[in-house]
Amino acid sequence: MKFIVPEPDPKNVCSLCSREVGKENLIEGQKANICFDSSDLAKEIADERRKEIAEKEIQQMAKDLSLANVNTEKGSFDISDTGMATAYMYAERLYKAGYRKVE
């Protein structure tokens, strides 16, 4: 006598982790279904990558700020004597305020 293991309905299976979780626990897309656990993991990975990108951009901004000369209408303001720690602080504030370099 042979037992047949029933195949799960593809509409109840996560496309990423292949677990059968049921329709109520899936985010349905046009070509993929993603379970909440896989979605949470993807968000954690994306947040970590965004953090890495932000750190690189802040480091570059701090480097640029520490070497910059700013000219204003009233005269010249030189921030090139600013140490890297102070430049990093300003760069971090600018980044958090929404400044992004546009190329």
pLDDT tens track for 17-40: 999 998 899 999 888 999 999 999
pTM: 0.65
* CA–CA distance, 18 with 33 (Å, rounded to integer): 10
Determine the pLDDT at residue 72. Answer: 46
Q: Provide the 3-class DSSP secondary structure of residue 70.
A: strand
Looking at every residue in the chain, the average pLDDT score rounds to: 83
Q: Provide the 3-class DSSP secondary structure of residue 69.
A: strand
Most confident of 10-19, 26-35, 36-45, 54-63: 36-45
Pick 102 or 10 by higher pLDDT: 10
Give the pLDDT band (50/70/90) at residue 53.
very high
Report whether 55 contacts 48 (CB < 8 A).
no
Report whether 91 contacts 77 (CB < 8 A).
no
Q: What share of the chain is helix, strand, coil (3-state, %, to 5)?
A: 50, 15, 35
The continuous run of DSSP H or E covering 34 comes out as strand 33-35
Give the pLDDT band (50/70/90) at residue 85.
confident
Q: Indicate the DSSP class of residue 13.
A: B
Report whether 62 contacts 87 (CB < 8 A).
yes
